[in-house]
Structure 1
Amino acid sequence: MRVTAETKAATRRSLLVASRKLFRQQGFEQTTTRDIARAADVAHGTLFNYFADKEAVLSAVVSDAVSAALAKFQESPPAKCSLEESLFSLVALQLRQLKTMRKLLPALVESLLSPLAGKSDEAAMSVRLSLLDAATQLAIRHGYGELSSMALQLLWTLFTGILIFWANDTSPKQEDTLALIDHSLAMFVGWLDDARNTSTGSKKKQRRR
């Protein structure tokens, strides 16, 4: 029987719904691909037509959540605020969207999202690229221009560090995470300001020559 695109999409959706539930109930380490396939009512081998392994399933779950958060952010972008405040809103919205998966994030960051990760997949790359693109658009809107590759790497390293800290934050309402976001983004924007001022100063010196 020919499998249609609609059938494939429905099967993938069922696998993701089942995995979200199992990951929350049992934890990432305790959940197997067999558990996911059984809960989605598909053959175990069918799962591997969609995902290479359990890490790829988790990556897709998080990617969907990040995409939903970005859509919300783009529908109602922060108005009349600084780059630091805009980036804070972007990161905070991601955390709200990922709240039910908070305890799963260390496994994902360690295996796929970390700047030091040995491998990645399409969904993990999508998370990285979409978030950094959103940050770049904010920087352009606030007059900073395109972010350099170094700036993007720094921002991504800060973001993954925030995710790990948040996953283990036991402070009331994760207040310590909010403080960390505040300090991290202040440092990042301060670094951008210094780089911009240095560049402007160099150009002025060259013109005087």
Structure 2
Amino acid sequence: MEQTRVSGSKLSLVDALIVSTICFGLFIVASTQAMLAGYPDAEFSDASNVYGILIEVILAVCALLYLHFRHFDIRSLYPRPQWMGALEGVGIYAVAVVLGGLVTETFEGNDSSIPVVAFSFQGVSLASTVAFAMVNGIFEEVFLLGVLLRGLKGQGMWFAVGFSMLVRLLYHTYQGPVGVLSVLAFGLVLTVFYLRTGRLWPVVFAHILGDIVPVFFGEG
């Protein structure tokens, strides 16, 4: 029997699982291994940034080829950079940081024995950080929101949101319980904005800031 093809911006659950596996399966496995190892500290370098860029570009190409074969509207996934959208992204990032801080501070205050993952960015250059942030921000939000969330709306809005957020959570478990809460808060803010506007560039820009700012002004 011929397999039913998706059209436009719709995805079947099988398609969503395949795209999730292509894009995030490797990272979910790595995060699970880190969780089982007791949440070791996360160390970043120029080499790890370059490796991350190469891996995400390869995975993105594979996923886009699959979506093209399934007749998904790939052209709609292109984030259209605009200055106003960048300003909105700054606002989204600020709201996400505040919400994440409130959530994690409350959680940490209840139990000091909860493992906290330390992040090390010693010696990481600005060039590799910005390059990785741009690729990673586009990669994650395009596939989490532009593909999975939008594509699964036909299965029900809450299901689409839950699926996208679950995938986001699974490949960030290496950050520990507190880090995961921060990621979920961040992802929720981006998701709400995307649901209300349908625009990718502001959330992509917010994510880019989320990858750059902590390196030079945060934990690193």
TM-score if structure 1 supplies the norm length?
A: 0.38
- Higher RCO, Cα 8 Å, sep 6+: 2
TM-score if structure 2 supplies the norm length?
A: 0.37
Larger radius of gyration: 1
